[in-house]
Amino acid sequence: MKHEIIVDVKRDHILNLLNSGKRIDGRAFDEYREVSVEVGINQRAEGSALVKLGRTQVMVGVKLSVGEPFPDMPDSGVLTTNAELIPLASPSFERGPPDEDTVELARVVDRAIRESRCIDLEKLCISEGELVWIVFIDLHPLDYDGNLFDACTLGAIAALKNAVFPKLEDGRVDYKTKTEEKLPIVDTPVEVTFAKIGGHILVDPCLEEEEVLDARLTVGYNEKGEIVAMQKGGSGTFTQEEILDIVRRGREKAEFLRKHLPGDADGKN
């Protein structure tokens, strides 16, 4: 990702506003932008979702294929999370192989999905040691206006919950025939990102805030409110108290995000 120069006037304005208790887009410090989650928006994917976080838009597709399991986990399916920061989505995204921002995004989303054990990977075993389902989660931002972590994690879990198995015949996948059987999803992890700007802590940074933040902290929570993934970013630091506070406050935000996931009844394709 190309990093734009930070314009003093813009940074000072954001800081001045924060000092008087306001954010550049009028939100409260603990307020998300408008969240919307649509699922089943892609007929080629086994599961799909379009997440909007303000004007950030992310499409997530889940594809299933079959292959050999890892030798050390012969009865377990395989999960692969991939992100593409396509230059269509932002003037700062560049063509070419995945850069460190892309890889970090994919790994941080993967962490919450994997560590929450939200996919029952053992149920993805077709023939032990020989054939298992492979789950591909493709994170595809379409319009980048800040906070891809939360949007992508929400999209990933929405797309997973939306996913159904394609028909399997003689060890081969018939992608054109979908079954009624849903992917075994047993938890709904979500991630909540806070930014620190001039000593102020705020949730869901928009692009203008992201450009000037000192540090950010992403926390992933499972349904019980347990912490399943974390990632601190930015060159600035947090105090220990700030970290503890964020982790406590994030839980409620996670509940808020989770409410936007379509219920099982609407989660169908």
The amino acid at 98: P
Residue 134 or residue 215: which is nearer to other proteins going by CB?
134
Instruction: Please identify which residue in the block is written with the tokens 């009844």.
Output: 265
β-bridge pairing 215-221 and 190-197: antiparallel
Q: Could you tell me which stretch among 4-12, 29-37, 115-123, 191-199 binds other proteins (CB under 8 A)?
A: 4-12
Q: According to CB under 8 A, which one of 23, 33, 63, 253 is a site residue for other proteins? A: 63
228 Cβ neighbours under 8 A, 6+ residues apart = 111, 112, 115, 116, 189, 220, 221, 222
Among 43, 71, 169, 240, binds other proteins (CB under 8 A): 43
The token pair at 203 is 């949730």
Considering only residues 90 to 149 of the shown chain, the ones binding other proteins according to CB under 8 A are 90-91, 95, 97, 136, 138, 140, 142-145
Phi, psi (deg, nearest 5) at residue 6 = -85, 120
Among 35, 65, 107, 258, interactor with other proteins by CB under 8 A: 65
DSSP letter, residue 144: -
Q: Find out whether 64 and 136 touch, Cβ atoms under 8 Å.
A: yes
DSSP state of 240: H
Taking the least distance from each CB to other proteins, the nearer of 11 and 251 is: 11
Minimum distance between the CB of residue 227 and other proteins, rounded to whole angstroms?
A: 30
CB of 220 vs other proteins, minimal distance in Å: 23
Rg (CA), the chain: 19
Q: Which is nearer to other proteins, 55 or 268 (CB)?
A: 55
Contact call for residues 54 and 34 (beta carbons, < 8 A)? yes
Judged by the rule CB under 8 A, the positions of this chain that interact with other proteins are 5-13, 16-17, 20, 22, 42-45, 48, 55, 57, 59, 61-63, 65, 82, 84, 86-91, 95, 97, 136, 138, 140, 142-145, 173, 175-176
